[in-house]
Amino acid sequence: MPIKIGAQLFTVRELLQTPEGIEKTLARIADIGYEYVQCSGFEFDPAWLRALCDRLGLKIRLTHVRPGDRILNDTQNVIAEHKTLGCPYVGVGGMGKGYGGYSGMDGVRQFIKDFTPAMKALHDAGMKFQYHNHSGEFERRGGSETIFDVLVNESDPTLMGLTLDTYWAQLGGVDVVDLIRRLKGRIDVCHYKDFAVAGGQPRMAAVGSGNMNWPGMIAAFEEAGLQYAFVEQDDCYGADPLEELTSSFQFLRIM
């Protein structure tokens, strides 16, 4: 099965501050050719957004729940919202400061322990919890193991998937193609984000305009069983985010 390409709406979050802005922006995203979206970075009513996406031919397949502890403390309402959205993947953007950020292994183990009951509830409802990485998960702290290693090795693969972000993994200093291959069966969804250098500093870029090995990564993702790839740019550095999403889509269409 080919990888399905979606747009991470966090990229256009500044355009999604009103209902009118949401309607106009999602219509543009559908016109670009995207058929799938991830909802993150803006407020919305689930029923209203589902009706809008249905009308535009867009399917919601992933979220980042904010704040993430809603998954712990309001699990059944989170499940009900995602049923309304028709969304099978329920994500968080990281552990958060409550678990010590990237300061050590005790926090990540506590995170896994705390979230496992909610992960089970999501699984029982036909959904799957997803954890999104940044670069800090790849730091080594006093040994050979990284926080990302603990997330992979000490969580239940049937309950927790990993939303691998290509840019942040690259910034974390790992061989991204090798990492994808090692995560076979753990990556249902991911973030496609290119890595560029400007003025000697790393920066995010439209897919295909940076330095990442897209043929190698896409082949590895296909082998790993990836279902959905969401194009994302946290920062467009003054460029039009819709134009950046267009550039990424056009590149991926010919890959």
Query: Which residues contact residue 185 at a Cβ distance below 8 angstroms, ignoring those fewer than 6 apart?
Result: 157, 224, 225
Contact present, 91 and 130 (Cβ < 8 Å): yes
Q: What is the pLDDT of residue 104?
A: 77
SS3 letters for the chain?
A: CCCEEEEEHHHHHHHCCCHHHHHHHHHHHHHHCCCEEEECCCCCCHHHHHHHHHHHCCEEEEEECCCCCHHHHCHHHHHHHHHHHCCCEEEECCCCHHHCCCCCHHHHHHHHHHHHHHHHHHHHCCCEEEEECCCHHHCECCCCCEHHHHHHHCCCCCCEEEEEEHHHHHHCCCCHHHHHHHCCCCCCEEEECEEEEECCEEEEECCCCCCCCHHHHHHHHHHHCCCEEEECCCCCCCCCHHHHHHHHHHHHHCC
Q: What is the mean pLDDT of residues 216-220?
A: 98
Residue 205, CA atoms < 13 Å, CB-side half-sphere: 17
Tokens (6 digits) for 226? 């990836």
Give CA–CA dist 235/214, Å, rounded. Answer: 20
CATH number assigned to the domain comprising residue 134: 3.20.20.150
Q: What is the pLDDT of residue 142?
A: 66
Tokens (6 digits) for 5? 């390409």
CA dihedral 16, 19, 22, 24 (to 10 degrees): -120
Domain count of the fold of the chain: 1
Residue 245, CA atoms < 13 Å, CB-side half-sphere: 30
Band (pLDDT 50/70/90 cuts) for residue 9 is very high
Q: Give tens-digit pLDDT for 109-131.
A: 999 999 999 999 999 999 999 99
Q: Give tens-digit pLDDT for 87-106.
A: 999 999 998 888 877 777 88
Percent of the chain at pLDDT exceeding 90:
91
For the chain, what is the mean pLDDT? 96
Q: What is the pLDDT of residue 179?
A: 98
Range of the domain at 149: 4-253
